[in-house]
Chains A and B, each alone.
Chain A
Amino acid sequence: MARAEAPETAPDPTAAAQAATLEVPPELVAQSLGEWFRAWLTRIRSGDSGVLPVLLALLIITIVFEAISPNNVFLSAGNIVNLFQQSAVFMVLAMGELFVILLGEIDLSIGYAGGVGAAITVQLVQPSTAKWPWWGAVLAGLLVCVVIGGLHGTLVTRLRLSSLIVTLGGLLTWQGAMLIILGLALSGYPSLAGLDANRQVLYNLMNGTIDPVVSWVAMAVVVIGIAALLWFGDSRRRRSGLVAPPVSLTLIKIVLIAIVGISVVAICNINRAANGTLAGVPWVIPIVLAVFGAWMVLLQRTKFGRYVYAIGGNPEAARRAGINLAAVRTLCFIICSFTAGIGLLLYASYLGGMSGNINGGQLVLYAIASVVLAGTSLFGGRGKVLHGILGGLVIGGIYNGMGLLGLDVRWQFIVTGLVLLVAITIDSLSRRSATSGSAARV
């Protein structure tokens, strides 16, 4: 008689229960802050430490570079703003790359796919070429990025090619395309340093500043808005008996967000010019926040976002749930390239023009390193948009700090490589401890 039921396949109830205790996110079962904190410590000890390592890394980077940078310039207002600007490019690229990494795929081409878009935009606003309005040029550049992403996604989903190979091909192809577009320059090096309004707008994306008073008001509106959403959301869930964090935890979250908001605006509003005045929040900060907010809502609050996680976690389960895998996957590649277009536009703005020398291969590695080192899994299904921000800050910090020390690009390559290695090691180690914690599972 065929009996599939063997006694040894039955899970050991105590071991399973133990694994469950370790893995349940603390905020789900805790009733008080103390309980939440204890559960959180247990979870960290079991190997699932969330964003803690990346926050620690940020702290270490800050302390080390502040100590060894000439005249302790690392924490000066001017350098912090510069650090934000440099990190912005990595953050935006990382937030785009996140979408394909969540699927368990990879996109190696974003540096040059975005570069093609940025090159088109910069070329189109040149008075000596097309003389387009800045918004038209930006739209055209981003549209081309959308097409590139759609092409990658179609090749991966319809022809079932490996995304690694497709986008490796893309890395080369789009670099060539970018160079061709830049080579069309009738004006020589396509620069954004012009006095005409269109080029000024693009130049200001990174370098323009918002009036200090306006910054304070805008920051207050944003923080109060987020706080209200958090507070009313959590208390509604508490009232109707749904899973919700303790009141004190909601308050702590709100206070943290307010502290970050106030600090950023306060630092940016310090005069950072050697002579004269230069103060205010650079435009790039609200731009990055907009990308962050949009992609977070998309991933956490929409069907599409839910399907991205489902496909990354178990594609077969997603398929059986009737999800159109090809469409979701293709859309992720499109979002990735589109976001890369924004990232490279910011980079062009930072450089004051578009150069054929940008290193798109290095940019993509920075982007991948950013999310992975903040806790996103390369195996798919696990990661957050916030990881792009935090990881981008770490990578930007290293990049900036090494620049301050006068270490050239050779050392930057080596350190970035090491950081990437460490990040991926952490990823696979935490994965291993997560699986061993639940080895008793069937």
Chain B
Amino acid sequence: MGQVIDESPTAEPRFKARGVDKHFGPVQALTQVDLDLYPGQITALCGDNGAGKSVLTKCIAGIYEIDHGQFFWEGQPVHVRTPRDAARLGIETVYQDLALADNLDIVQNMFLGRERLRNGFLYEDDMERAASKTLADLRVTTVRSIRQPVASLSGGQRQSVAVAKAVMWNSKLVMLDEPTAALGVVQTKMVLDLVRRLRDRGLAVMMISHNLNDVFEVADRIAVVHLGRMVAQGRASSFDRQSVVDYMTTGASSRSGQQANADGATSGTR
């Protein structure tokens, strides 16, 4: 069980995970993980390399099926077994490895698996219009043509397309796995602005980042994973850099107690 540093907001979480286990052969990637994601809040998921952040994300996205545990969507128990299940609930994901098909163009990638049809055939004009509107809304203006294959995009442009792909749908929860890892300063700011705009629209947002500047800049809540366990979870204001680093590297922090107490919240076991 993770250490609860503060009390949860009174609102019901949009998404809850309870007691999630996931193993790959002998590798126990997740052990008894709890996670709460609230609407209108950005939750930063932190953890060292190999901690299990991406595996947790993929479990929620329906890429991997969990071994034990339960997911709750708006309070109701749900099973997410396939990416389609997740999409049906309104869960969208930007994967760490982006998952774009290089040989398809931007429009084709953004609509992959959810093509619009007219008379049974692909309705390209409509998809192109919608895709270019989404990109314009996100101020992704550097691509030369929306019909160019993704192979011809720069790393930052690919990242923008992957983000645009996730927010184009009427999603209720967007998870971004290191969305700024390959980006320059300007594009990083753009993605972080975008993440804030998603929150302001009332979406639940989960963002994985190794960059604590980014985390403290945008996060409302922080959750820290260590060796597949959720070691701390709470309001961002109840953490400081040092405590996050402590949790990430050792799974515990001597400072968080004071922090949490200073915050007037109940501290956990320690």
A318/B154 contact (C-beta < 8 A), A5-B181, A20-B144, A243-B145 known: no
Min Cβ gap B207→A in Å is 14
Which residues between 75 and 89 of chain B lie within 8 Å of chain A, taking CB atoms?
82-84, 87
Q: Mark A1-45, 1 if CB is under 8 A from B, else 0.
A: 111110001110100110111111100110000000000000000
| A441 interfacial by beta-carbon distance below 8 Å | yes
CA distance A297 to B121 in the complex (A): 9
B152's partner among A3, A23, A236, A302 (CB-CB below 8 A) is A23
- Interface of chain A: mostly helix, strand, loop or mixed: helix
Q: Which residues of B contact A237 (CB under 8 A)?
A: 125
Min Cβ gap A114→B in Å is 28
- Is B112 within 8 A of A321, CB to CB? yes
| A410 interfacial by beta-carbon distance below 8 Å | no
| B211 interfacial by beta-carbon distance below 8 Å | yes
Q: Which residues of A contact B113 (CB under 8 A)?
A: 318, 321-323
| A272 interfacial by beta-carbon distance below 8 Å | no
| B99 interfacial by beta-carbon distance below 8 Å | yes
- Is A314 within 8 A of B101, CB to CB? yes
- Is B104 within 8 A of A310, CB to CB? yes
Q: Which residues of A contact B122 (CB under 8 A)?
A: 301-303, 306
Q: Mark B106-138, 1 if CB is under 8 A from A, else 0.
A: 001100111101001110010011000000000
Which residues between 206 and 258 of chain B lie within 8 Å of chain A, taking CB atoms?
210-212, 245, 248
| B191 interfacial by beta-carbon distance below 8 Å | no
Q: Which residues of B contact A313 (CB under 8 A)?
A: 101-104
Q: Mark A318-355, 1 if CB is under 8 A from B, else 0.
A: 11111100000000000000000000000000000000
- Is A19 within 8 A of B152, CB to CB? yes
In the complex, which range does the number of interface residues on chain B fall in? Answer: 35 or more
| A242 interfacial by beta-carbon distance below 8 Å | yes
| B148 interfacial by beta-carbon distance below 8 Å | yes
- Is A321 within 8 A of B83, CB to CB? yes
Q: Which residues of A contact B120 (CB under 8 A)?
A: 302
Q: Which residues of A contact B104 (CB under 8 A)?
A: 306, 309-310, 313
- Is B248 within 8 A of A2, CB to CB? yes
- Is A317 within 8 A of B182, CB to CB? no
Which residue from chain A places its CB closest to the CB of B208 in the assembled complex? A4
| B20 interfacial by beta-carbon distance below 8 Å | no
| A211 interfacial by beta-carbon distance below 8 Å | no
Q: Which residues of B contact A382 (CB under 8 A)?
A: 103
| A282 interfacial by beta-carbon distance below 8 Å | no
Q: Which residues of A contact B48 (CB under 8 A)?
A: 2
| A438 interfacial by beta-carbon distance below 8 Å | yes
- Is B101 within 8 A of A309, CB to CB? yes
| A381 interfacial by beta-carbon distance below 8 Å | yes
B211's partner among A3, A11, A23 (CB-CB below 8 A) is A3
- Is B121 within 8 A of A301, CB to CB? yes
- Is B154 within 8 A of A20, CB to CB? yes
| A196 interfacial by beta-carbon distance below 8 Å | no
Q: Mark B187-213, 1 if CB is under 8 A from A, else 0.
A: 000000000000000000000001110
Min Cβ gap B152→A in Å is 4
| A190 interfacial by beta-carbon distance below 8 Å | no
A1/B147 contact (C-beta < 8 A), A17-B154, A318-B112, A322-B82 known: no
- Is A4 within 8 A of B178, CB to CB? yes
Interface residues of B (CB under 8 A from A): 48-49, 61, 63, 82-84, 87, 93, 95, 97, 99-104, 108-109, 112-115, 117, 120-122, 125, 128-129, 144-149, 151-158, 178, 180-184, 210-212, 245, 248
27 contacts between A and B (CB under 8 A): A4-B181, A5-B181, A16-B154, A19-B152, A21-B144, A24-B145, A24-B152, A28-B144, A29-B144, A240-B125, A243-B146, A302-B120, A303-B115, A306-B112, A309-B108, A313-B102, A314-B101, A317-B100, A317-B109, A319-B83, A320-B83, A320-B95, A320-B99, A322-B82, A322-B113, A323-B113, A438-B151
Given A17-B154, A312-B103, A319-B83, 6 more pairs with CB closer than 8 A: A19-B152, A20-B148, A243-B146, A309-B104, A314-B103, A319-B63
